[in-house]
Chains A and B, each alone.
Chain A
Amino acid sequence: MKPHAEVHLSVDELDDFHAGRAAVRATSHIETCADCRALVADDIRLVAALENLRTWDPGIEFTTRVMEQVAPRTAPLAAPTAVAHSDRERSARRRVLVGGTLVGGLVTGAFAWASINPELALGLAEPAWRDLTGSLWITVQAISANTMEQPWFSAVSDAVATPARALPLMGAAAALYTAALFGLRRLLTRPAIDASW
């Protein structure tokens, strides 16, 4: 096997010479290897010649000709005009308006009546409120009891028993959630047309 310094320059090492960051092995190698020295010199000359090649502009009418073909898309955005509605749409809108006014009137009336008769209003509202909160509390208790009876509950409970154990799990869950959001966003991206990627 050849000693390390005798191995000729790799393509990446040759590139490093162009970037001005040649490694010590490469610089010491070209001091002893005439072939690689010549290769580097030729390559540097070639790249310099390529970088100095001239570029050209198209004809003076180029922009005009391109714009003529894209002009329809560059028209200023039209101001939104009044939208014409059909008879059916007008009648639906009228029904919504009448319904909304009725509901609004009823709610306003109820508030007005309650402010005039506060004791009577509270007398009616309190039992209903008590029933509602009582039902909610029973539901919460039932869900908790059911969850604690599940076979996986003790394992999950152990896993999040201390903040040190819970944090990595919460991190992983957050990462999973973020990845899912990105995945969803990608799925919902509009497909590109011919001239795109």
Chain B
Amino acid sequence: MTSPTPVDWRMLTDQEVVRHAVIGREAAYRELISRYQRPVYSLIFRMVRNRELAEDLAQDTFVKVLNAIESYRPEYKFSSWIFKIANNAAIDHLRRRSLDTLSLDGSPHAENSEAIEATTLQVSDSAESPLDEVANRELGTSIETAIASLRPEYRSCILLRHVEGRSYEEIAEILDLPLGTVKTYIHRARNELRILLADTRD
């Protein structure tokens, strides 16, 4: 049996790497992860602002994409596909979190002191790792705080446009929004950011 011919993965387009992945070449899977782990993880991290959670959601994104690689339609950009799934994962989490708002003082349904204690959110117990500390410090800069205060839809748009450098058309494809809406969101987001940063400077 002949072994597969060696491939210079760096020379291949995303579509070509996907073709290798579809026939089950493990190296192609690794190449796709290596190309997109940084942008996908960074996008999700900025959306959810929690390192471990972002890593879990990024992992789910890649597992979903790679397990469904045969359904990828090459007429679309691979980056659009993976960013769409990553963004949906982040937005879904944010929606779930807004539904599961926890009280710091314990569940309102707790009927005695033990139940109140059991359902109280233990904020002070969560020990921060050095990595968390660095990440939190970086997220604490004025521009990151301003981005975090944007509506999730605006945040996705502004991050995809100006951090990931995606075109308006690709963002419309990723977010399933009309092109005009994407432009409006990005300009409103930039207006809000300018105002927030001006307030910070003042």
Contact = CB atoms under 8 A, between A and B. Distances in A.
Interface in A21-52: 42-43, 46-47, 49-51
Interface of A: 11-12, 14, 42-43, 46-47, 49-51, 53-59, 62-63, 65-67, 69-70, 73-77, 79, 190, 192-197
Given A56-B45, A62-B33, 16 more contacts: A11-B184, A42-B194, A46-B197, A51-B162, A55-B163, A56-B41, A57-B37, A58-B41, A58-B59, A59-B55, A66-B59, A67-B33, A69-B63, A193-B71, A195-B68, A197-B76
Contact of B194 (A43, A53, A59): A43
Given A58-B37, A63-B34, A67-B30, A76 B67 contact: no
A53 B163 contact: yes
A47 B187 contact: no
Contact of A62 (B1, B59, B67, B198): B59
B130 interface: no
A20 to B, nearest CB: 15
Given A58-B58, A193-B68, A43 B30 contact: no
Interface stretch (B5-13, B21-29, B110-118): B21-29
Of the candidates A53, A62, A76, the one having the most CB atoms from chain B within 10 angstroms of its own CB is A53
Interface string B30-69: 1001100111011001000000001100110011111111
